[in-house]
Amino acid sequence: MASPLPSAAPARVVVLVSGSGTNLQALLDAIGDDPEGFGARIVAVGADRDGIAGLERAERAGLPTFVCRVKDHASREEWDAALAGATEAHRPDLVVSAGFMKIVGKEFLARFGGRFVNTHPALLPSFPGAHGVRDALAYGVKVTGCTVHFVDDGVDTGPIIAQGVVEVTEEDTPEGEAALHERIKEVERKLLVEAVGRLARDGYRIEGRKVHLGHVGE
């Protein structure tokens, strides 16, 4: 599957957040006042809850925001359709999950499959799910890291775009999980910025499980 990117204009990106929005901020800082140079611009920020720092970051940047709360809908399917509609209203070329802590459903993936980017704090396919850092520590790995990947209908099973490695030291114990997670987040932010920029500037193809950056149409 070939992407529609790149085009003459910067790619339109909608970012979804659930918390502090540090990945969103990393993208905002990288794009700065030069979306043409970066290859993309953020056109809106969505969330699954009100009153979070991620939305405040978006508002300070002058970006439109929207909130789709699961509890405001009769079913998870209705929520998923509402999220898809709210996202599509901004006509994104790419959608980026920047700490968005909800699993999207069939309607969202039908509209944005192959264009929905996520990050995970482990080296997939190892340690998927909500406790990637904890599970890696418990397993006794010597290196861990983070993965930027496209979202599919599994849990952290989509095609991998990029990965970054973080060493696990003797000081990294289960009790000190947070310190390791912070080191992973530092790498994750840089990796996400690089991956989104390359997807937007160079285009990409997805062939089975492989993501090829650039050379679209070859």
**Which positions are annotated as active-site residues?**
120
DSSP labels, the chain: -B-----SSPEEEEEEESS--HHHHHHHHHHTT-HHHHTEEEEEEEESSSS-HHHHHHHHTT--EEE--GGGSSSHHHHHHHHHHHHHTT--SEEEESS--S---HHHHHHHTTTEEEEESS-TTSS-STTHHHHHHHHT-SEEEEEEEE--SSSS-SPEEEEEEEEPPTT--GGGHHHHHHHHHHHHHHHHHHHHHHHHHH-EEEETTEEEES-TT-
